[in-house]
Structure 1
């Protein structure tokens, strides 16, 4: 199999991209910024790296061949006459699984189509063997140019993300710090393979978090460590133990709430957490939310069933007498152990989300971030 030759009229618009041949058919300039159209022809094995757009959606329409795609880890396959929607803010990738494929990529709104001219050489570079065409697109250049256009390309490896280097640099102004943390949030939250994130990330975030009482912008490092714990199954080892010392009577509210969100993920350390957080100035409702997240229920007893449904707005508002009022209808549900466990986990996840949102709101309102 081979890709078709290009014609002279296509010289400026046609590119060798990741080994495939693409031609930009419509640009922002010609569509009043509404849509960019890219026509592509590629052989089996052509694949885009996992990436996420902040600004644009992509729609893949297959003219011939077959393409596998994944959005947020959910995979699908499209063939001739079918389309796949690849939305912004959700990591996605696709690859050609037939001998060859011919397809259209619609970019809405337009603008990102300029990326291809920035990273891949003109197809007029004829005579290059097919096996070498994929190497014409440099991965580091792709990542850099995509970032400038609001798109993150994910790649696993030992390298330290540039944004992490920025938050660790002494004297970085709060506005720059905040922007760097938002980019790190994108990396951590949208990565299709959280276990494959750079090993230096967690260690760097712990280092940055130790500065939270000095500047509340760094409380975002605590939030990110909590998200990492959630996405990697709480596999944080002993990395965060030293952060318990941040819980001080004079800790700013954003730091206290971010600490609650982070450590609410670790019920195995509940006694140490409650002891360390005793001097922390927390609203009763938040302290009760933390205690509820740190509970390890005995699913063989009736206890968990009696407390389900009592986490909102906080477990603190439900009294002991309330627990007996609806026992009859709860018994009528005939919930077995797995059902009770699933409901318990769902309510815990809701509490964690609420705690994270409270901390995020408090950090955003802090003087450090707004300065």
Structure 2
């Protein structure tokens, strides 16, 4: 895993980009210069990088899959245990904090407890006309990306059951959901992540072009385990850094702005691919602070609305409004988000999520052991 430390760095940078984006949205700064817009407007591309890395990690972590039902169940438990406990706790906290914030300023918070439950079931609140790719977003609004993550884990986990035909099964479903279904429904196929086909209900998630970014990550993972490599370490390192420079230029220049595999996802996929192949020859040394940022990236991503949103609601109605618009307020919001994200990582991810995971895995293993023992007991003895 040390060779893949660069992925942790990418995850940390992606999460930080989203935090900066939402901090700026909540506190639109007075600096409207070209440089300011150039630096901040493309930070939503961190989501595209997240999705691509997720696809890669799924290939990496299941490389030794035996295709058994037990393995697929363990895969699902590990994935859900990492996401659900943290998301559940932070969603409840966010809902309560935001209701209090809105009451302080005498306004009404739009979400209900029913919305909270639906959000925790990873079902978008407005699948009909909520606007792709968010579809109304959940109560904790950044959780809209988890709706796609959970769907991807589902189809990926099912494909594991096909053993040596797992990739054939995976690609067959991708071809069906992302090409055949939209085509048969009379749609022109698009790769733009913000587009949606004229479906109703959950099919809007199933057929979303954003799924192509997970597929790109899977493809990169398969190439990583292929014989493909760059023999010369100097060339490998050079190609990797050129790809990073290309990604930076593409994203901030606005060549193709917005989410999707042909837009921000394209340079992100090229960068992850180049670094992955180069890492087979050259070991990238990642600073400890970037590894730390990568470690807390999931908590940071989920927790920062707890910092930016209630602060915005309350302080915006005070004489401090203009002070909030000063660029100096942005680092304060980012620093607070990093601090609370670190707390969430240590107490929710490392403790709560791990305890939930270990408890459920232990229970499942006991059930499988008892089932095997019972099956062996019921088997008639051999006639010799």
Quickly name the TM-score band, shorter chain normalised.
Answer: under 0.3
TM-score, L = length of structure 2: 0.23
* Structure with the higher fraction of residues in helix conformation: 2
Greater radius of gyration (CA) = 1
TM-score, L = length of structure 1: 0.23
Which of structures 1 and 2 has the larger relative contact order (alpha carbons within 8 angstroms, sep 6+)? 2
